[in-house]
Amino acid sequence: MIVIMKNGAEKEEIQKVIEKLEKVGFSIHLSEGVERTIIGAVGDKSILNELGLEAMGGVERVVAIRHPYKMVSREVKSENTIIKIGNVEIGGSQIQVMAGPCAVESREQLFEVAQMVKDSGATILRGGAFKPRTSPYAFQGLEEEGLKLLAEARERTGLLIVTEVVDPRTIDMVSEYSDILQIGARNMQNFFLLKEVAKANKPVLLKRGLSSTIEEWLMAAEYIYAGGNHNVMFCERGIRTFETTTRNTLDLSAVSMVKQLSHLPVIVDPSHGTGVRSLVQPMSQAAIAAGADGLMIEVHPNPPEALCDGPQSLTPDQFSTLLSSVKDIARAVGRNL
């Protein structure tokens, strides 16, 4: 069960609700977000009506939840969550596009691509500074130097920055230089990392694990939300199946499903989702038709030379063509871009 407190509820009002619930044996999980506090309570639901919680000061609503994920569920909040970062809104009528290289490789590479994706209509620059690679011999990222370049690109272009955090020890550092913390597919169930980003003062983009079910993905988001960070967005990036022609199988039914089950925004990454450059545009169009709130696309000034994920990276020109083609689809489903 979830008790949603009103925006601006007093500390004493929250405390009174907790005391009442604890007295009759409920165990409490408090989630204090920037805007509102949600009290999760596990215990005997049959006595709920007798408690009269809804009449208590500061209480907005009491909801019994069927799912194991609670705070991220639509049962708790029927309207879409809109994450506001500066003047960018994720989850509203505007589709947001995150674009940039797989990895930050150099000042020239990053600044060139940042300006080009901005000119085409992206609002958020992506680029990994800490790269979780399958091989220990592959390029591992420029680390803090890469983060500094991202922050400089933000200064120059006004684009927001999304970049991956792989280790709880670097959350403060990554937060200092970026606007959205990305949790990569390989870390979706790194629960210690999830609990730490829950304490960070930055929105989180949570990628779907390589072989994770929708429920596991929602539960991972629940860790972050319940830990007090209510600015969480999902990112579908393909899953492992028996198919090997594509790098992963982009699960677009998951996009519509998660939009039905949760109030949080959903982004689609057709670059990792397919691994095939020529599929990135058609899958971007399909993603928007399926209800995605945004796209994450890998773009490189010279894909054959990319240190990471060249075969799925678009040239800036291809990216620009993609965005024009997606605009029409967005309009057809009542969104804009």
Q: Which does 202 bind (CB under 5 to 8 A by kind): Mn ion, ligand PEP, none?
A: none
The CA distance from 132 to 121, in Å, is 28
Angle at the Cα of 163 (from 201 to 101), degrees rounded to 5? 160
Choice from 116, 125, 185, 233 touching ligand PEP (CB under 6 A): 185
Q: Which stretch binds ligand PEP (CB under 6 A): 17-25, 182-190, 192-200, 284-292?
A: 182-190
Q: Which does 185 bind (CB under 5 to 8 A by kind): Mn ion, ligand PEP, none?
A: ligand PEP
Where do runs of H (alpha helix) occur along the chain?
11-23, 48-51, 107-120, 144-157, 171-177, 191-197, 214-226, 252-261, 270-274, 277-289, 316-332
Long-range contacts (CB closer than 8 Å, 24 or more residues apart) made by 15-22:
16/56, 16/57, 17/53, 17/56, 17/58, 17/59, 20/51, 20/53, 20/56, 21/51, 21/53
**How big is the site for ligand PEP, counted in residues (CB under 6 A)?**
10
From residue 217 to residue 256, the character string flagging contacts with ligand PEP as x (rule: CB under 6 A) and all else as - is --------------------x-------------------
The least distance separating Mn ion from the CB of residue 257, rounded to whole angstroms, comes to: 25
Residue 259 in the binding site for ligand PEP (CB under 6 A): no
Residue 316 in the binding site for ligand PEP (CB under 6 A): no
Contacts of ligand PEP in 112-131 (CB under 6 A): 128
By beta-carbon proximity to ligand PEP, the closer residue of 53 and 308 is 308
By beta-carbon proximity to Mn ion, the closer residue of 102 and 219 is 102
The least distance separating ligand PEP from the CB of residue 125, rounded to whole angstroms, comes to: 13
The CA distance from 196 to 227, in Å, is 8
- How many C-alpha atoms does 82 have within 13 Å on its Cβ side? 11
Q: Is 253 exposed, middle or buried (0-12, 13-18, 19+ CB in 10 A)?
A: exposed
Residue 207 in the binding site for ligand PEP (CB under 6 A): yes
Q: What residue ranges bind ligand PEP (CB under 6 A)?
A: 102, 128, 132, 164, 184-186, 207, 237, 272
